[in-house]
Amino acid sequence: MLISARSRLSHNDQEAPTGTTKSISISMASDTTLFETSTPIISHSGPPQHARKDKDDLPSPVLKRTGDPDIENNWSAGKRRWPELLPGVRGNINVRDVALGDYIAFGGYSHVYRGVWQRDVEVGIKILSQLDHAAAFASELFTWATIPAHPNILRFYGVCFDACQPFMISPLMRNGSLLEYLHRFKPGPRDKIRLMIEIAKGIRHLHDHKIAHTNLHARLIVIDDQGHAIISSFGFAYDARESCATGALSSFVTDPDKLMEALLVKMHNERKLAYPFVSDIVSFARIAIQIWSGGLTMQRLREEGTAQESLVALLGRCDAGIGRMGVPLPTPEEIINNLHQILADLLATPGQQPLDTPWIQEEHVTFQELIGRGGYGEVFRGMWQGNEVALKRVFRGDMGRDLYTAFASEIEIWSSLKHDNVLPLSGACLTTTFPFIVSPFMKHGTALSYLRTVPTTTYQRIKLMLDVAQGMSYLHGVGIVHADLKASNVLVRDNGSGLVCDFGYAKLESAAAPKGTDPSERVGTPRWMPPERLLEHKSSKEGDVYAMGMTAYEIWTLERPFGDVPDARLWTRIIDGDLRPCLNSMVVEMPERLKELLEECWAPEPEDRPSFKVIEAVLQEILLACPVNVPMPQEPRPTETISAKVSIKRKRRDELTVNAGDLIKVLGRFSGGIEFGTLTTPEKGGYFVRTDLE
């Protein structure tokens, strides 16, 4: 139920915001345990059955308590409980714009309710509960309202003094406290480290602005809708700033000086704490131990035995306190850097070296315009360290495998590659809900966009093919199968040279042969995929060679392979009809040797295709004999003028295996996510339609 201040001003109850009917948990109490309403969406009767029940185990995060009837009655009646408290002082929030909802929690000086602000914004409402705690309320108001914005600090919306009792509002945290989140979602090791990093980032931000929280614990860390950890509740914060800059409150309060004087808020300068900033580091260690093991002590962490030695050592240093063990406490910056490396070690493939990648912090990167999409990521133009960069960010896609593992695999492969025709990796960030990779920005974009906007000659196009072949030859030389080569995965430098990019489907050659069914082999762009991969879900070096033939065709003609064939009919025509692009009747005739090379690349039998070393040598020969000044068109032919033909037949078609009952999803750029029907063997009544094209 929502109690709107508007309802007492108008007989039309429909004016009041309605909001949602579910009670959502939020942690905004400043110094005590979070209590929760009896909502079925998040209530728990106790810890999970499989959880260990040692003496230092966490209690259930749910304790039920009723709200304050005086607050609810006074709110509904429009009465002010302490009208003489702050005469003449007004906040930026109008009580008529706020509807009071369900009770959530009780703090040291406040009751917390959910509510709706301005009809459609769900908020947490933190209401002063006792008059003798007004100074604590004002102290938190001063600190919270003057902390510069940060993604890991709970945002302050504003304050109201003309309600029944003064209150502050902030975004509603639907996932509740960190403890509730851990009990409910049971995050894996990577997400646990990510949560630790986010908490450390929030502490670093506070310390950078000379503020110590001094009361950090897991019930005061809240989780937003995207799963980020956010520090809340600043009632005990220690403010070491040189002066109480009450001017910063002017956005929220009409007379900040009068407010601070009336409430006697001098504690920012008078409060004496021996080691306020050290206490945050020690508290971080306890929270991190809770995140990892569910316990409260270093002994519990060591006994559990699942934490990496580097993590145990780091938290041991943080938990050392002052003078104990003679080890200086790490700074928040050191903690963040160490946790990034621990995360990299967790993500490294078993048997491989830890990832040697520059780890980038999210706040140092600016995302700008969207410039492209990949198999499971979006590509943005952005800024990092004053340089224009490309940012590839994960989006939630139906890939049938762990998204973080897939992304880490791309980073692991990419970070080890060093070649003039392979796009370099600048860094990565894995500690956000949507991890991203940073690489140099190429203003010409992909090979297709470059060739359509910049005048080129036959020589330059063959040179671009050679660049791709050299990059692919290097990849195969170090045992990497790209598995998604096409012109849109080739970028062009300012000097016109080509760079192979996008290693989202790349894998080590030793891992390319599937052991069982690998879902990652079922996605890609089928117009560039060889018949054996379409049927057998097997990527290989020979499959890359097939894709090189299609990519070279794109570079010469600016046309996608089989541009005249609908997606829904493409598979059967490639597999059963051995369909290949027609190399005749082009605007600029292709050299005969280049035609022969492309036909060798897309030979139906993998063993009949040349290696990239051979392709590289042949392209060198063609380039030497190619005229330098023959211009090429910058537009593809109209689709209706493109002809495809059945030019070759498989020699051993019956040796192909068809996975009966296997549902294929194609997520390619031109497929539009089309879901194809079930493929079955002829013995089970399934047939591939055979259609000859003119």
> Do 11 and 151 fall into the same domain?
yes
Most confident of 56-65, 164-173, 386-395, 454-463: 454-463
Could you give the residue ranges of the DSSP H alpha helices within 454-517? 458-477, 509-512
Q: What is the pLDDT of residue 530?
A: 86
* Beta bridge partner(s), residue 222: 177, 230
Q: Using alpha carbons, select from 33, 252, 258, 245 the residue that is nearest to residue 156.
A: 252
Instruction: Identify how many contiguous H helices and E strands the chain contains and give both numbers.
Output: 19, 21
Q: Using alpha carbons, select from 460, 511, 507, 464 the residue that is nearest to residue 630.
A: 460
> Do 434 and 463 fall into the same domain?
no
Identity of the residue numbered 303: E
Select the more confidently predicted residue: 195 or 254: 195
For residues 618-629, give the mean pLDDT.
Answer: 92
644: Cβ contacts below 8 Å, ≥ 6 apart: 562, 564, 565, 579, 580, 581, 582, 693
For Cα atoms 475, 401, 548, give the angle at the middle one, nearest 5 degrees: 30
CATH at residue 670: 1.10.510.10
78: left (phi over 0), alpha (psi -120 to 50) or beta: left
Question: What is the share, in percent, of the chain residues with pLDDT greater than 70?
Answer: 68
pLDDT digits (tens, 9 = 90+) for 340-384: 888 877 765 454 445 556 778 788 899 999 988 766 678 999 999
pLDDT band at 90 (very low <50, low <70, confident <90, very high): confident
Select the more confidently predicted residue: 449 or 245: 449
The answer to whether the Cα torsion of 675, 679, 684, 688 is positive or negative is: positive
Q: What is the pLDDT of residue 33?
A: 32
Residue 685: is its pLDDT beyond 50? Answer: no
Q: What is the pLDDT of residue 175?
A: 86
Rounded Cα gap, residues 478 and 476, in angstroms:
5
Contact indicator for 330, 318 with CB cutoff of 8 Å: yes
Q: Count of domains in the chain?
A: 3
Contact indicator for 674, 666 with CB cutoff of 8 Å: yes
- Transcribe 130-191 into DSSP letters: -GGGHHHHHHHHHHHHHSPP-TTBPPP-EEESSSSS-EEEEE--TB-BHHHHHHHH---HHH
Q: What is the pLDDT of residue 255?
A: 62
* Beta bridge partner(s), residue 170: 124
Q: What is the pLDDT of residue 187?
A: 84
> Do 23 and 151 fall into the same domain?
yes
Rounded Cα gap, residues 113 and 380, in angstroms:
39
> Do 431 and 535 fall into the same domain?
no
Does some domain include residue 638?
yes
Q: What is the pLDDT of residue 658?
A: 35
The alpha carbon torsion through 456, 459, 463, 469 (nearest 10 deg) reads: 110
Query: Tokens 């591939």 identify what position?
Result: 688
Contact indicator for 332, 207 with CB cutoff of 8 Å: yes
Q: What is the pLDDT of residue 407?
A: 72
For residues 48-55, give the mean pLDDT.
Answer: 37
pLDDT digits (tens, 9 = 90+) for 625-665: 998 889 999 988 765 445 455 445 444 444 333 333 333 33
pLDDT digits (tens, 9 = 90+) for 207-262: 999 999 988 999 899 998 878 899 999 988 888 875 555 555 666 766 666 665 65
> Do 402 and 458 fall into the same domain?
no
Residue 302: is its pLDDT beyond 90? Answer: no
Between the alpha carbon of residue 170 and those of residues 122, 246, 303, 327, the distances in Å are 9, 20, 40, 39
> Do 20 and 157 fall into the same domain?
yes
Contact indicator for 177, 221 with CB cutoff of 8 Å: yes
Residue 28: is its pLDDT beyond 50? Answer: no
Whole-prediction pTM value? Answer: 0.57
Does some domain include residue 609?
yes
Does some domain include residue 57?
yes
For residues 415-435, give the mean pLDDT.
Answer: 85
635: Cβ contacts below 8 Å, ≥ 6 apart: 452, 558
Q: What is the pLDDT of residue 525?
A: 76
Domain boundary pick from 398, 418, 440: 440
Rounded Cα gap, residues 609 and 209, in angstroms:
63
pLDDT band at 546 (very low <50, low <70, confident <90, very high): very high
Most confident of 398-412, 442-456, 576-590: 442-456
pLDDT digits (tens, 9 = 90+) for 14-27: 333 333 333 333 33
CATH at residue 415: 3.30.200.20
Does some domain include residue 225?
no
Rounded Cα gap, residues 365 and 428, in angstroms:
11
> Do 602 and 456 fall into the same domain?
yes
Identity of the residue numbered 143: T
The least confident of 72-76, 188-192, 522-526, 596-600 is: 522-526
pLDDT digits (tens, 9 = 90+) for 133-192: 787 888 888 889 888 888 899 999 999 888 888 999 999 998 889 998 998 888 888 889
> Do 90 and 121 fall into the same domain?
yes
Question: What is the share, in percent, of the chain residues with pLDDT greater than 90?
Answer: 29
For residues 421-430, give the mean pLDDT.
Answer: 89
Q: What is the pLDDT of residue 553?
A: 93
> Do 417 and 399 fall into the same domain?
yes
Q: Using alpha carbons, select from 694, 425, 416 the residue that is nearest to residue 564.
A: 694
Select the more confidently predicted residue: 37 or 345: 345
Domain boundary pick from 391, 425, 440: 440
CB crowding 462-492: b at 16 or more within 10 Å, else e: bbbbbbbbbbbbbbbeeebbbbbbbbbbbbb
Does some domain include residue 306?
no
Does some domain include residue 570?
yes
Helix %, strand %, coil % of the chain (to 5) = 40, 15, 45
Residue 613 marked in a binding site: no
* Beta bridge partner(s), residue 384: 365, 387
Q: What is the pLDDT of residue 490?
A: 95
Rounded Cα gap, residues 382 and 366, in angstroms:
5
Rounded Cα gap, residues 414 and 428, in angstroms:
11
Select the more confidently predicted residue: 287 or 358: 287
Contact indicator for 296, 56 with CB cutoff of 8 Å: yes
Select the more confidently predicted residue: 564 or 367: 367
Q: Using alpha carbons, select from 447, 517, 524 the residue that is nearest to residue 482.
A: 524
Q: If 0-12 CB within 10 Å is exposed, 13-18 middle and 19+ buried, where does residue 77 land?
A: exposed
Q: What is the pLDDT of residue 504?
A: 78
Between the alpha carbon of residue 160 and those of residues 104, 168, 235, 627, the distances in Å are 19, 6, 17, 78
Q: If 0-12 CB within 10 Å is exposed, 13-18 middle and 19+ buried, where does residue 351 land?
A: exposed
Q: Please count the other Cβ atoms lying within 10 Å of the Cβ belonging to residue 362.
A: 19
Could you give the residue ranges of the DSSP H alpha helices within 531-637? 531-536, 541-557, 567-575, 592-601, 612-625
Does some domain include residue 348?
no
End-to-end CA distance of the chain: 69
Q: Which two tokens stand for residue 536?
A: 């057998």
Rounded Cα gap, residues 88 and 454, in angstroms:
67
> Do 402 and 477 fall into the same domain?
no
Identity of the residue numbered 649: K
Q: Please count the other Cβ atoms lying within 10 Å of the Cβ belonging to residue 684.
A: 11
> Do 436 and 453 fall into the same domain?
no
For residues 11-38, give the mean pLDDT.
Answer: 35
- Domain around 110: 3-181+240-269
Give me the sheet containing 121-128, strands edge to edge.
Answer: 3-4, 98-106, 110-117, 121-128, 167-171, 158-160
* H-run or E-run covering 500: strand 498-500
Residue 297: is its pLDDT beyond 60? Answer: yes
> Do 50 and 20 fall into the same domain?
yes
pLDDT band at 390 (very low <50, low <70, confident <90, very high): very high
Q: What is the pLDDT of residue 221?
A: 94
Does some domain include residue 471?
yes
Between the alpha carbon of residue 226 and those of residues 20, 179, 393, the distances in Å are 19, 16, 15
Q: Using alpha carbons, select from 345, 293, 341 the residue that is nearest to residue 319.
A: 293
Domain boundary pick from 405, 440, 475: 440
Q: What is the mean pLDDT of the chain?
A: 74
